[in-house]
Amino acid sequence: MNKKLFLIVALLPLLAAACTKPNLDPPINPDATVIINSKRVKVQIADTQAERDQGLSGRAGLAQNEGMLFKFTRPGRYIFWMKGMQIPLDFIWIKGSQVAEITPNVQPEPGVGADLLKTYQSWDLIDSVLEVNAGWAAKNNIRVGDPVEVLTGE
């Protein structure tokens, strides 16, 4: 009898762990905080080509005030796509320290080959792009011309 009780007690934590939903997408490991129109977003910075290539691909979700900031060494008209994305996003195109453009509600395209994916590009030269959950820009009243501040080491 004691062996059965011991076995049941030993297996309970394993059964409980098996019944919980796994956390597939841990929170962003923030490198910085971006502030636009007094709204704060904790961001992971993608400033190498490998980090920019990976982006947010494969993530099943983002917390409400999380995102990724793509930083470039010089202003340009950079092309973005939704390769491997599972969640819709807003693209906030940044020039210097201002919002230059907003591309809202960009949808993932599951099952579409890389050569057929839609591409997105700013009209103006930009040096950063902030990717956040779709609807974040509208919800937070973000507008072209709003000042952008990036705080590192927070």
Question: What is residue 8's three-state secondary structure?
Answer: helix
pLDDT greater than 60 at residue 19:
no
Residue 3 has a pLDDT of 53
Residue 72 has a pLDDT of 92
Task: Report the share of the chain in percent with pLDDT over 90.
Answer: 52
d(CA 67, CA 43): 5
pTM of the model: 0.79
Q: What is the pLDDT of residues 65-90, one digit of tens each?
A: 999 999 999 999 999 988 888 899 99
pLDDT greater than 50 at residue 16:
no
Q: Are 36 and 148 in contact (CB under 8 A)?
A: yes
**Which domains are present in the chain?**
24-152 (2.60.120.1140)
- Comparing C-alpha atoms, which of 154, 129, 131, 149 is closest to residue 32? 154
Length of the chain, please? 154
The 3-class SS string of 11-74 reads: HHHHHHHHHCCCCCCCCCCCCEEEEECCEEEEEEEECCHHHHHHCCCCCCCCCCCEEEEEEEEE
d(CA 45, CA 55): 9
Q: What is the pLDDT of residues 105-145, one digit of tens each?
A: 999 989 888 889 999 999 999 999 999 999 999 999 999 99
